[in-house]
Homo-oligomer: A and B are copies of this chain.
Amino acid sequence: MKIKRSILGQLPYGSDLLDAMTELVQKENIRLGRISGIGATTHAVVAFYDQNTKKYNPLEFPGGLEILNLQGNVSMRDGKPFVHIHLILGDPQGKVFGGHLLQGTKLFACEVTVDELEGDELVRAHDDRTGLYLWKTCLL
């Protein structure tokens, strides 16, 4: 794969991080890529995936927090570009929290980069063993 294009910019104040990233990749027709960024939230919702029950358990973090890192990728699911992001948050004492990004995370500010990759598409499908929507092939 090659990096076809890189985007660096900010997401709107008050927007939902997951919705905004999804809208961005769909608007830009980025079907394969990676995401990174920093910023701040006014409210955050992430999840911990329970490997035994195979369920995402939501965790809410109200109030202003730093986005110390957001990291993820873009691939295809149900025929559309799909973003998968993990979020790391910092509180007023410098303590750190995080999880798998869910809808409901509202932005105070957010500066992201998206690299569009060219190469064979990666398609998410249900994986029985883990209960996750994973790609079909492995690098090894």
Contacts and interface: CB of A to CB of B under 8 A. Distances in A.
Contact of A73 (B86, B113, B137): B113
Given A13-B129, A86-B68, A140 B3 contact: no
A90 interface: yes
A6 interface: yes
Interface string A55-91: 0010101001011110111010000000011111011
A50 B105 CA distance: 18
How many protomers of this protein does the assembly include? 3
**Majority secondary structure, A binding face:** strand
B100 A66 contact: yes
A9 B138 contact: yes
What size tier do the contact residues of chain A reach?
35 or more
Contacts of A115: 3, 6
A96 B88 contact: yes
A66 B5 contact: no
B138 A12 contact: yes
A38 B10 CA distance: 22
A131 B109 CA distance: 11
A134 interface: yes
A6 B13 contact: no
A98 B68 contact: yes
